[in-house]
Amino acid sequence: MGLWAKFKNTTLYKSIYRNDYPDTPRNQVLVILNSVVLHLHPVKLPRRAVRVSYTWGLGGLSLLMFLILTLTGVWLMFYYVPAVPHGYQSMKFLDTNVIFGPFARNMHRWAAHGMVIAVWLHMTRVFYTGSYKPPREFNWVIGVVLFLVTVLLSFTGYLLPWDQLAYWAIMVGSNMAKVSPVVGTYVQQALLGGFDIGPATLIRWYTLHVILLPLACIALMAMHFWRIRKDGGISTPIPYDEDGETEQLNDNNNEGKS
């Protein structure tokens, strides 16, 4: 017995890898079923459903942008100080004194723009192909909420440099919230941390940007991927026969004739 075979028989290896290498259909299914990440994906997919010309990979691109934002955002948190006297200076220090600081900040910024565009295009593709129809209507609602969370993530991050653009963006955004019926004034005070823009405002937007909104995005994405699998996988183009009629329509006619 070789060294690798002996290691595979140890308790450590078996506690991590419960199945053999996925070289057979049975092992492939078991690996997927016993994996948290892979379990979100269906075991099999129709070939036409994963054509690049049909999905354009927009959902995967949105996830990729989020992962880039997470990695670069965590790195930026080591240098950013969420306080009124230091927020703007943190950005200047990052741009001038930190190695690869401008690169990391610009990557975070462009990934944020890319995620908004990718999610919007993804929703456009889903709407254009009718992928929001039953039984996927609930997942469409989750996607709409995800788009709103994505926009809020982008907006809250826009305010953190605490420059003139950030100040007046907070002023415009809080005034927009104020005109909401009944609860408008209370929402504005909750966003500002009082009646005026100040230190409490920055720390609240910072908390939203780095904790609450990312956690909400992760939870919604996990549910979104899970619902895709439970709803039958990625929606496929409607197949047409030579006469231009759908296969489902022909099946119904054949049942009526029989």
Quick one: DSSP state of residue 28? H
Residues facing 165 on adjacent strands = none
100: left (phi > 0), else alpha (psi -120 to 50), else beta?
A: left
> What CATH number matches the domain at 51-231, 1.20.810.10, 1.10.760.10, 1.10.10.10, 2.40.100.10?
1.20.810.10
Q: Where are the domains of the chain?
A: 51-231
Tokens read off for 256: 């009526």
User: Which residue in 118, 148, 143, 121 sits closest to 223, CA to CA?
Assistant: 143
Query: Residue type at 41?
Result: H
Q: Tell me the residue type at 237.
A: P
Alpha-carbon torsion, ordered 139, 140, 141, 145, to 10 deg: 100
Cα-Cα end-to-end distance for the chain: 63
Helices (H), the chain: 3-8, 11-16, 25-33, 52-55, 58-77, 87-96, 101-128, 137-159, 164-178, 184-192, 199-207, 213-230, 247-257
Contact 47, 237 (CB under 8 A): no
Cα gap 14→42, rounded to integer Å: 25
Amino acid at site 133: K
pLDDT at 47: 76
Low-confidence ranges of the chain (pLDDT < 70): 1, 39-44, 236-258
Q: Are 211 and 156 in contact (CB under 8 A)?
A: no
Beta bridge partners of 246: 240
The pLDDT of residue 239 is 52
pLDDT per residue as tens digits for the range 217-244: 999 999 998 888 788 777 766 554 444 4
User: Apex CA 182: angle with CA 176 and CA 185, to 5°?
Assistant: 50
Please enumerate, as own/partner, the contacts of 248-252 that have beta carbons within 8 Å and a separation of 24 or more: none
pLDDT digits (tens, 9 = 90+) for 50-88: 788 888 999 999 999 999 999 999 999 999 999 988 999
Distance of alpha carbon 228 from alpha carbon 41, whole angstroms = 8
The pTM for the full model equals 0.80
